[in-house]
Amino acid sequence: MNPDSGPESRQKRYFVRTYGCQMNEHDSERIAGLLEADGLGVTNDLAQADVVVLNTCCIRENADNKLYGHLGGLKTLKDSRPDLQIVVSGCLAQKDEALIQTRAPFVDVVVGTHNVGRTVELLHEAKVAGPVMEILTESEAFPSALPVRRDLGWSAWVTIQIGCDNNCAFCIVPSVRGREISRPFDDVVAGVEALAGAGVVEVTLLGQNVNSYGRDLSMARRAAGESVAARPLFAELLRAVGAVEGIRRVRYTSPHPKDFRPETIAAMAETPAVCDHLHLPLQSGSDRTLAAMHRGYTAQRYLDKLAAARRAIPDLAVTTDIIVGFPGETEDDFERTLEVVAAGEYDSAYTFIYSPRTGTEAAERSQDFVPAEVVSDRFERLRIVVERSALARHEARVGRVEEVLVEGPSKKDSGVLTGRTGQNKLVHFVSPDPLAVGSFAEVRVTRAAPHHLRGELLEVTARPRHRTRIPVASL
């Protein structure tokens, strides 16, 4: 295209804003891939965009509020440029459906979680017919082979499973992401091989409950009369992905403690590429609360599994998710959480204030909601316990030599580089020369803080192999 041939033939641009989790980040990469396949180019400047996509999250209430706040701002832009097309996709679209266009009638396309692949067609339809909404209740099958525009050349998310068959009392995910569907084993491995071929060195396997990966696949095979081995497929998948030539780091998120099996621990311990990091969401340390949440484990069972993982993988970093103020949580319940968090010796924890989600079981228990001031006091006490253990874990690493995968200049100081260790710790370090993103380097850890480490560069151990201009590909 000739950039000088006037505004009529200017390449159209899209802008994507993502809210929420890694699954959503990856869905945004797919939406970007679809738009690029349709001839649009990316822009980070809202004012330049012809298509704006808000890929939404609804896991907690503030995610809702943020979306409607941003839509208010977009209305002004759309008033001045009526050709601008606005898409709302993702979990909140799935949950709020028609409410979005009722509250923001200028939104052109509302598309749910099960049909992201239709985004471009819906944009074309909206051009002709005006605002459209398409929300399906279920995905037919695993949506492989949509184009993807990956943000990073050296690291990629790989969805292995969509949906969730659990029913945690606080969680909206099963109702917006549908039942669990696993991506076929060979398809995952072939996808990772293709990524490795393009120079990707790190993959993160994504699913809501990765340990039940493959349950639906084995059921389908048994129903078809095949005799299927009872081995847990996720452990096999970790080994297969870890064996792909060129893949130096395999991560995954998230396992569910109730389904976290010895076979998975063994696969982690025996597959060198699988990182020494386990994100094992605890949610609460009180057995009473865990039962009310329908989590399917007790605090002791959880700690036993953690101890087994640490025995098998001595240098394991462990992170978790915790909810404060679940309906009915007493001071005693909360103190159990503090005890288990202290016993868990976490490297870090994502802590959340309970947020009632309409349609979930816990949201019905409004008579048991914990007063906001009690929750914020507990939240602060939990933060202190988490930071204490994170700092202790980090201090224990001072003096050690760690291999980091370089991510680029630090956000706060462009003279400092940032990398991540296999344990997923951020390390800020000074390098005399600029280092390309995607390089591996050895650094000596010199200082510890609760959320990062500082270090000094010793040597560069591997240069990146990926292309810097990332083409859209079906991976």
Sign of the Cα torsion 438, 117, 41, 57 reads negative
Secondary structure of residue 150 in the 3-state scheme: coil
Q: Is the omega angle on the peptide bond into residue 254 within 30 degrees of 0, that is, cis?
A: yes
Closest to 290 measured CA to CA, from 319, 258, 318: 258
Query: Is residue 25 within 8 Å of 63, Cβ to Cβ?
Result: no
For position 59 contacting ligand 5AD by CB under 6 A, the verdict is yes
Q: How far is the CB of 390 from ligand 5AD (least distance, A)?
A: 17
By a kind-dependent CB cut-off of 5 to 8 A, residue 212 interacts, out of ligand SF4, ligand 5AD, none, with: none
**Would you give the binding string for ligand SF4 spanning residues 233-272, x where CB under 6 A is met?**
-----------------------x----------------
Q: How far is the CB of 172 from ligand SF4 (least distance, A)?
A: 8
For position 323 contacting ligand SF4 by CB under 6 A, the verdict is no
Q: Please pick, from the candidates 85, 155, 209, 289, the single residue that binds ligand SF4 as defined by CB under 6 A.
A: 209
Q: Please pick, from the candidates 22, 48, 144, 166, the single residue that binds ligand SF4 as defined by CB under 6 A.
A: 166
Instruction: Output the six-digit token pair for 286.
Output: 């009180």
Say how many CA atoms lie within 13 Å of 349 toward its Cβ.
32
Distance between CA 260 and CA 264 in Å, rounded? 7
Number of shown-chain residues binding ligand 5AD (CB under 6 A): 12
**Would you give the binding string for ligand 5AD spanning residues 282-311, x where CB under 6 A is met?**
-x----------------------------
Which one, 168 or 235, has the nearer CB to ligand SF4?
168
Side chain identity at residue 418, one-letter code: T
Per CB under 6 A, the segment of 21-29, 170-178, 244-252, 322-330 that binds ligand SF4 is 170-178
For position 60 contacting ligand 5AD by CB under 6 A, the verdict is yes
> What φ, ψ does residue 86 adopt, rounded to 5°?
-115, 130
Q: How far is the CB of 145 from ligand SF4 (least distance, A)?
A: 25
For position 171 contacting ligand 5AD by CB under 6 A, the verdict is yes
For position 321 contacting ligand 5AD by CB under 6 A, the verdict is yes
Nearest 5 degrees, angle CA 56-CA 279-CA 474?
A: 50
Per CB under 6 A, the segment of 5-13, 227-235, 292-300, 353-361 that binds ligand 5AD is 353-361
Which one, 164 or 244, has the nearer CB to ligand SF4?
164
For position 281 contacting ligand 5AD by CB under 6 A, the verdict is yes
**What Å distances lie between residue 96 and 107, 120, 158, 365, 419, CA to CA?**
13, 21, 27, 22, 39
Encode burial over 218-245: b for 16+ CB neighbours within 10 A, e otherwise.
beeeeeeeeeeeeebbbbbbbbbbbebe
For position 357 contacting ligand 5AD by CB under 6 A, the verdict is yes
Q: How far is the CB of 209 from ligand SF4 (least distance, A)?
A: 5
For position 68 contacting ligand 5AD by CB under 6 A, the verdict is no
Residue at token pair 């000094």: 456
For position 95 contacting ligand SF4 by CB under 6 A, the verdict is no
Strands (E), 154-201: 155-159, 161-162, 181-182
List residues near ligand 5AD by CB under 6 A: 59-60, 170-171, 281, 283, 321, 323, 352, 354-355, 357
